[in-house]
Each structure stands twice: as structure tokens, then as C-alpha cells.
Amino acid sequence: MSQKHSFQAEVAQLLHLVTHSLYSNKEIFVRELVSNASDACDKLRYEALNNSALYEDAPELRVRIALDKKARTLTITDNGIGMSAQEAIDHLGTIAKSGTKDFMSKLGADKQADAKEQGQLIGQFGVGFYSGFIVADKITVESRRAGLKPEEGVRWTSGGTGDFEVETITRPERGTSVILHLREDESNSADEYLSAWKIKQIIGKYSDHIALPIQMRKEEWKESEEEGKPGEMVTTDEWETVNKASALWTRAKKDITKEEYESFYQGISHDYEAPLAWSHNRVEGSTEYTQLLYVPAKAPYDLWNRDKKGGLKLYVKRVFIMDEAEALLPSYLRFVKGVVDSADLPLNVSRELLQESRDVRAIRDGNTKRVLTLLENLAKHDVPATDASEEDKAEAGKYSKFYAEFGTVLKEGLGEDFANRERLAKLLRYASTTSDTATVSLADYKARMKEGQEAIYYITADTLAAAKNSPQLEVFKKKGIEVLLMTERVDEWALSYLTEFDGTPLQSVAKGAVDLGKLQDEAEKKAAEEAAEAFKPVLAKLKEALKDKTEDVRVTTRLVDSPACLVVKDGEVSNQLARLLKQAGQ
């Protein structure tokens, strides 16, 4: 007896997108389904820590891929945790993942995005199971959850449109088979996935690092029995492992190629692009762990989602524990992807326990330092010296690229990570009155400071044009003093945590009485004092007239052409921040 169910509306929408946008990158379905099989084995191993009976009589976890040319099916079978009927309905009929709504609305809002961009978005998001429908017009899933009786198996079937069917089956073996009935059309282009050679090639590309054996039927060359006829490849009953089946991060650095590092990244991040940089280390000492950390080349669509979890996977002694382990990196480094494999944490560690663990704190500090070192290196080689080595030249421009994508999040670190504030400050880049692009570091600025200049000057505004044309800059322009132009929402807040850089105070040109100190000559000072004296009666009248609107009215030296400007009292919220707070409803 089978039961019909409708897909959740989002799934139906997603399915439509999958089949219409991903045709240029069809093969990713192999990666997605193999990664689900591998996740299922991880989950079994994890649950079995407390209940070894779940292994039943098959403790060797593996994934098998079988091809049937006649039936035109490709079947991926794992002996992992499996699914109960309810789980099949819940997990294969809805998208339970957080961030999905965001993703959908992003796609909705971005109707102009072409198919390729949509494909990339979906890729980032990881369409997972539904990617099977790129090549299949029908998918059958047969599964039995570990620990349930053989009669409590489930068969789930769908043509990938509005609904799916579920029925109870008997399935002696634990785990899941996903059977793809390859799409039939004029060219039968999906047929290439019936070639063992092709599948092996895709596995080599995406799934070599999967720590489980992925097996396929062994093929053998068979000479023809008839004289003169050519031989042929035949499929035997024997299974052979076709991936390297070793967790990449456990291998020695020198034995891993650039391509392997890159494809591992693509496997864990679902990113189409190669990463910008990575750092792979085995850390020894009081806390032992291996870290493999990647900086992506592109910001994900949900980078600004404050609830976005971190991008690190946590393993304990090669056993997968959890995805998105946010305790392993501070939030301002949430764009970093990778793996941490700890030798010390207990296998049954929970998210809550992670927050309190001393080992985790050590790992988090270690990870943070590594990422900062990686970024410092990129920054150092961003503009290479003419005599730089070829290797260093290859790093050129990477930091600018990184900064354009992630500079804004990095600034959050000023308020979040006091211990590394100085290192972070060195990594920041701003536009200034001498550069329209955000390329000026605080160190560059200091090196160009005028004789007698005692502060790093900056202005905050909504746009670069507004910053550049602010009357508050007049005197600085006249005297040729560089002013940093800050136009991001986060700047004002971040700078409240950065009052000085390398011994030099940061000073907003829009706050208080700008004291140019030694930059003013005697004549200017005298003129200012005289003016203040001469204008006393006028000031008194203005103050009286504006008494409900201003605190003070005074003569200033900061203007050259404009008659007047508004400034904020020292230590008070600036105009810009006040506007922001107002927008945020505060």
C-alpha cells in the first residue's frame, strides 16, 4: 500500500530550479549523493558509540555504486544509518535546513540572475539530494534505519515534480539505496553516467577524500571465444574500491597536490570556485589537533546573516562529529571553511559542551592565529616587489580580492577579538583623500603623515562622494593632510574599538574642535583667537537663536570655503552613527 504526499512548496520550486539551472554542471549529483551516503555512515558511527548493536552484522561501512545499462539506472547504496518511513517523508519531502528561506528569497529577488548564476547559488547552498533529478526523471529510495526490523523498511518514489509516494518494504540490509532512473530524451545525454569510467573520473574529482571506501564492480577484459573477434570489458561480481578513501587532512602536506587541496575544498564547501588560500597544520602540545582552513575566493550569499554558523567541520580522531562548529572560530571569521580533527575531545561532545571546553578554546585561538597569519601573508604579497620570486608573484592581488569580498566582516573583529586587535588593525584597508579604492592601510597612512601631525584623521559618511565633499575636510585639503574616508556601516562601530594605531590616536574630523596642534602656525592660531574674540556677540546671538537645537556655537579653523558646518561633541555618537541607529529603530 503506497501513500501519496506532496512536496513542500519550496521543494517543488527548488526542483524546478535544479532541473533548469544545473544542466551545465550535471555531474555534481554524484558528489551530493555520495556525500549523503558518507554522512549517513558518519551518523551511524556516531550513534553506535553508545549502542554498538546498531552495526548489526555489518561493521565495515562503505558506499557502493552500481550501474545497470539495460535498466538505465545508477544506484548508490550505503550501509549507514538509513531512514525510517517518517524520516524519509520528513527529510526527502521538505527542506528543513536553516537559511533555505533566505536562499529562496534571494533567488526570488534576483530573477534576472541567469541560469549559470542560479546554478552557482544553488551549488553554494548545496541542493543535496534533489540534485539527482538533474539526470533522473524518477528516483527510488529504499531504506531501513539501523535498529529497526527488516519489515520496517521504506520505499520512497518520485518523478521530481509535485509529489512523492511512500510504501513499507522489507529490507534485510541496513542503510539506503538511491536508485536514479536516468532521464530519457532525444539524445539520452544522461547515459554517459552509465559508464563506469565516467563515474570513476567524477569520484576522483570530488570524492577521493571521503574517508570511506567507495566501491564499484570490478571490470575485466575478456577475450572473445570466437576466433578473430575482438574481446570486451565485462563486469564481474567483485567489488573494488575506487577512491583513495583516506581523509585528506590526515595525509602529509608534501604528499598532497594543489589540485587535491582544491577539490577537497570544493567537496566540503559546494563552491564552484577554487579557494583563495589555505593553511594545513598538525598542532602538537597540550592540545593536539589537525587544522585545514580555507579562505574562499567569493563571499557566500548569506554572509550577512548574523545567525550564519561557522564553516568548520569537527572530527574527533577521524570520526565526524558535527558540521558548522561555530565554537571553533570567532564569528568575524565565519567565512573560513575547513576541518578540525581533535585528538583530545570526547567523541560524545555536544555543541553546548564545546562552548565550555578548554581544548576548544585552545583550538579556536589556534585557528584564529592561523587565519590571521594566512591573511598577513596574502597582504604582504599583494603588491609584489619587482625582484619577488615566482612563487610570491603568484600571490599578487589575492589580498585585494579577499578584502573586497570579506573586508567588511573582518572589521567586526575589532569589536569581537580584543586579543588580536592590533593584528586585525594592520589588515584593514580604507579609501582616503589620496585613494578612491580601499587600499590604504593604517601603516601606509602613518608613513605619509605630515611633520607635526599627531593623529590619524578619518571621516565617516554614507558614500564616498559625501565623504570627499564634506566641508569638514576643507582645512585638511588645504594643508595637504590625508584623511581616511570611511563609508561602511560597520566602520563607525568598529572604530569605537580602535582608538589608536601603533601609538597614534585615531581622530574623527567631524568631532569636537579639531586641534591641528603643531600643524597650525602661529599666525593662524592668532587669527583664530582674534576671530573668536571679534565674533563673541554674533556667537551669543546664534547660541540664543539655536538654543534648543545645538549645544554650542563656535568659531572654527576647520573651514576654508564653507561658512558653517555641524560637528558632534567629542565622545558622542556621530551624525552618521546616529542616523544608523535611527534606521535600526533605536
Binding-site residue positions = 32, 36, 78, 83, 97-99, 124-129, 176, 351
Task: Give which of Mg ion, ligand ADP, none residue 327 binds (C-beta under 5 to 8 Å, depending on kind).
Answer: none
Q: Name the minimum Å distance from CB 165 to Mg ion.
A: 22
Among 11, 30, 81, 247, binds ligand ADP (CB under 6 A): 81
Q: Name the minimum Å distance from CB 304 to ligand ADP.
A: 21
Identity of the residue, 36 or 118, whose beta carbon is nearer to Mg ion in the bound complex? 36
The residue whose grid cell reads 594592520 is 426
Identity of the residue, 128 or 311, whose beta carbon is nearer to ligand ADP in the bound complex? 128
Task: Give which of ligand ADP, Mg ion, none residue 83 binds (C-beta under 5 to 8 Å, depending on kind).
Answer: ligand ADP
Q: Name the minimum Å distance from CB 156 to ligand ADP.
A: 10
CA distance 415 to 330: 11
DSSP 473-489: GHHHHHHT---EEE-SH
Interface region with ligand ADP, contact rule CB under 6 A, candidates 73-81, 266-274, 303-311, 551-559: 73-81
- Asked if 147 interacts with ligand ADP (CB under 6 A), we say no
Degrees (nearest 5) of the Cα angle 249, 255, 256? 55
- Asked if 160 interacts with Mg ion (CB under 5 A), we say no
Q: Name the minimum Å distance from CB 217 to Mg ion.
A: 25
In the chain, what is the straight-line distance between the N-terminal and C-terminal CA atoms, in Å?
A: 58
- Number of amino acids touching ligand ADP (CB under 6 A): 16
> In this structure, how many other beta carbons lie within 10 angstroms of the beta carbon of residue 579?
13
> In this structure, how many other beta carbons lie within 10 angstroms of the beta carbon of residue 365?
15
In degrees and rounded to multiples of 5, residue 156 shows phi and psi of: -115, 130
- Asked if 128 interacts with Mg ion (CB under 5 A), we say yes
- Asked if 83 interacts with ligand ADP (CB under 6 A), we say yes
Is residue 453 a contact partner of residue 519, using CB atoms and an 8 Å limit?
yes
Identity of the residue, 61 or 362, whose beta carbon is nearer to Mg ion in the bound complex? 61
Among 22, 37, 61, 210, binds ligand ADP (CB under 6 A): 37
Grid coordinates representing 311? 564553516
CA distance 108 to 120: 15
Interface region with ligand ADP, contact rule CB under 6 A, candidates 32-40, 241-249, 435-443, 463-471: 32-40
Q: Name the minimum Å distance from CB 173 to ligand ADP.
A: 13
Among 19, 79, 176, 291, binds ligand ADP (CB under 6 A): 176
Identity of the residue, 176 or 432, whose beta carbon is nearer to ligand ADP in the bound complex? 176
Identity of the residue, 54 or 486, whose beta carbon is nearer to ligand ADP in the bound complex? 54
Task: Give which of ligand ADP, Mg ion, none residue 407 binds (C-beta under 5 to 8 Å, depending on kind).
Answer: none
- Asked if 126 interacts with ligand ADP (CB under 6 A), we say yes
Q: Name the minimum Å distance from CB 55 to ligand ADP.
A: 16
- Burial class of residue 338 (count of CB atoms within 10 Å of its CB; 0-12, 13-18, 19+): buried
- Asked if 129 interacts with ligand ADP (CB under 6 A), we say yes
Output DSSP code: residue 454: -
Nearest to 553 by CA among 563, 562, 545, 542: 542
Half-sphere exposure of 53 (CA within 13 A, CB side): 4
Beta strand spans in 242-380 (E): 277-283, 289-295, 311-316, 319-322, 337-342
Q: Specify the amino acid at residue 163.
A: D
Q: Name the minimum Å distance from CB 508 to Mg ion.
A: 49
Task: Give which of Mg ion, ligand ADP, none residue 395 binds (C-beta under 5 to 8 Å, depending on kind).
Answer: none
> In this structure, how many other beta carbons lie within 10 angstroms of the beta carbon of residue 224?
10
CA distance 9 to 350: 33
Q: Name the minimum Å distance from CB 266 to Mg ion.
A: 14
- Asked if 78 interacts with ligand ADP (CB under 6 A), we say yes
CA distance 457 to 449: 10
CA distance 211 to 209: 6
- Asked if 207 interacts with Mg ion (CB under 5 A), we say no
Among 36, 120, 266, 472, binds ligand ADP (CB under 6 A): 36
Identity of the residue, 39 or 392, whose beta carbon is nearer to Mg ion in the bound complex? 39
Task: Give which of ligand ADP, Mg ion, none residue 173 binds (C-beta under 5 to 8 Å, depending on kind).
Answer: none
CA distance 283 to 294: 17
Half-sphere exposure of 257 (CA within 13 A, CB side): 5
Among 11, 31, 67, 80, binds ligand ADP (CB under 6 A): 80
Beta strand spans in 52-129 (E): 63-68, 73-78
Residues 27-56 that bind Mg ion (CB under 5 A): 36
* Residue 153 β-bridge partners: 169
Q: Name the minimum Å distance from CB 160 to ligand ADP.
A: 13
Q: Specify the amino acid at residue 259.
A: E
- Asked if 40 interacts with ligand ADP (CB under 6 A), we say yes
In degrees and rounded to multiples of 5, residue 570 shows phi and psi of: -55, 140
DSSP element (H, E) containing 139: strand 136-144
Annotated binding-site positions for ATP: 32, 36, 78, 83, 97-99, 124-129, 176, 351
Beta strand spans in 430-491 (E): 430-432, 435-440, 456-460, 484-486
Among 128, 275, 296, 407, binds ligand ADP (CB under 6 A): 128
Site map 85..124 versus ligand ADP, x via CB under 6 A: ------xx--------------------------------
Task: Give which of Mg ion, ligand ADP, none residue 78 binds (C-beta under 5 to 8 Å, depending on kind).
Answer: ligand ADP
CA distance 433 to 430: 10
Identity of the residue, 129 or 264, whose beta carbon is nearer to ligand ADP in the bound complex? 129
- Burial class of residue 505 (count of CB atoms within 10 Å of its CB; 0-12, 13-18, 19+): exposed
| Coil/strand/helix, residue 168 | strand
- Asked if 77 interacts with ligand ADP (CB under 6 A), we say no
Q: Which residues bind Mg ion (CB under 5 A)?
A: 36, 128
Q: Which residues bind ligand ADP (CB under 6 A)?
A: 32, 36-37, 39-40, 78, 80-83, 91-92, 126, 128-129, 176
